[in-house]
Amino acid sequence: MTLTVPRPAIRRLTAGPAATLGDHLSVHGELPDMSGEALIDAVEGAGLRGRGGAAFPTARKLHAVAASNRSAIVVANAAEGEPMSAKDSRLLANAPHLVLDGAVLAARAVHADEVVLCIRESAVRAWEAVERAVAERDAAGELPVVARLVATPATYLAGEESALVRFLNGGPAKPTFIPPRPYERGVARRPTLVQNVETLAQVALIARHGAQWFRSAGTPEDPGTALLTLSGAVEKPGVYELELGAPLADAIAAAGGATEPIRALLVGGFFGSWVEDPEQAGTDLGLGAVALLPQSACPVAETARVAAYLARESAGQCGPCVNGLDAVAGALASVARGAPYAAVAADLERWRAIVPGRGACHHPDGAISFVTSALNVFAREFADHGRGGRCSRCSRPSVLPIPASSPIARAA
């Protein structure tokens, strides 16, 4: 008999309640004074990658903005459009000063005098915590930058880098057809560093403890820890910190385990992939959101709902995305309603081949990749759906969190 004992959880970002400046300093300690160059070197040595989903090396972004030698702007991104993710708003609510530390350090490194904190409009607790934290620092004379809070629309694409920059420039929160890239010309035409708030918090820890310390957790390729949002059929859904490369099963165990037998896990949010076993998840968790789909749920209905949501959340700008995702979602909905999969299989195959890569952003690519993964993992369920009459599992409420679509996403 084997007894699986979860490893002790590593707590770095989640080291303790640190909402006030006093708590923050007692949990994390003083921020050492360091030059911008030294910070970029430390971040490079640490091998930190962005925690917003794209996993781009943070030091390369810092370098690119710093190299312009013009007055830059730092955008701390907590637009968090992914419905499966809550980590950014949770981090801001619990440790706003850690994010502010990282933003201030990044500002120094890229010659920025302004930090814009972009917070999803529905994340009220995060907003209040950041507002308090900024006021606290202001009163203590410890805010060397102009800090501005901006509520971002609760759409799937609001956090996409070019959409966020466009929104901050007074436009709609929809992606642009780049170039120029934000690091060249972004907010107010200034070089702009857009970083996910967790990434900035990691920068603040690296500045305190160094690259070696950072690398003492995680794998050589994916060093450090990351925040993970667990949802679905898990005992205690929520946000957990895990060592990159640690088995996903450990995180699930830390969350009290599954509530019922699991059919599959969606790893990496709605642009992610389905796996049938936590061990297949690998070390790349995308933006750190995992949902457990129980055997009692209908994978066809779940997939069709997500596909419909992603089609609705298209920015509506590019023909192949608007038409392609709509067509794919329609076909999946028809199967969910009982039409035979064979009736739409050829269409789906064609659309999956021609839609990716033809939008201004990666929305059509991510949506198609999700659908493809679902069709592969749930091939049996798709083939059998509706064969034996009405699917009894279809009546179950959605396990995957599908928000009501925002009016802004639908506006032209």
Partner 1 sequence: MSVELHVNPIACEAHGLCAELFPEGIVLDEWGYPIVDERPLPDELVEHARRAAAACPTLALKLRTSGRDGHRTRVQRAPRPIRSS
- Integer distance in angstroms from the first to the last C-alpha of the chain? 60
Give the nearest distance from C-beta 29 to partner 1 in angstroms. 45
Residue from 69, 142, 319, 379 touching partner 1 (CB under 8 A): that is 319
Collapsing DSSP to helix, strand or coil, 290 comes out as: strand
Tokens representing 101 are 């530390």
Total count of residues recorded for the chain? 412
E strand or H helix at 114 = strand 112-120
Contact between 177 and partner 1 per CB under 8 A: yes
The label of the residue with tokens 């930190």 reads 48
Nearer to partner 1, 40 or 368 (CB): 368
According to DSSP, the β-strands at 238-243 and 225-232 are antiparallel
Shortest CB 350 distance to partner 1, Å: 8
Least separation, in Å, of the C-beta of 181 and partner 1? 12
Closest CB 270 distance from partner 1, rounded Å: 21
Which of 16/319 has CB closer to partner 1? 319
323 part of the interface to partner 1, by CB under 8 A: yes
Q: What is the DSSP letter of 187?
A: G
Give the whole-angstrom CA distance, residue 197 versus residue 129: 14
Record the tokens describing residue 87, joined without a space: 């980590």
Give the number of C-alpha atoms closer than 13 A to the C-alpha of residue 24, restricted to the C-beta side.
26
Binding-site member from 238, 245, 320, 340 for partner 1 (CB under 8 A): 320
Which of these segments, 138-146, 242-250, 258-266, 311-319, binds partner 1 (CB under 8 A)? 311-319
Question: Is the dihedral angle over the CA atoms 386, 388, 390, 392 positive or is it negative?
Answer: negative
Query: With binding defined as CB under 8 A, does residue 330 bind partner 1?
Result: no
- Tell me how crowded residue 75 is: count the other CB atoms within 10 A of its CB: 27
Span 349-378, contacts to partner 1 by CB under 8 A: 354, 358-360
Contact pattern from residue 122 through residue 161 relative to partner 1, giving x for each residue in contact according to CB under 8 A and a dash for the rest = ----------------------------------------
- How many H helices and E strands in the chain? 15, 9
Among 176, 192, 225, 273, binds partner 1 (CB under 8 A): 176
Residues of this chain that interact with partner 1 (CB under 8 A) are 176-177, 317-321, 323-324, 354, 358-360
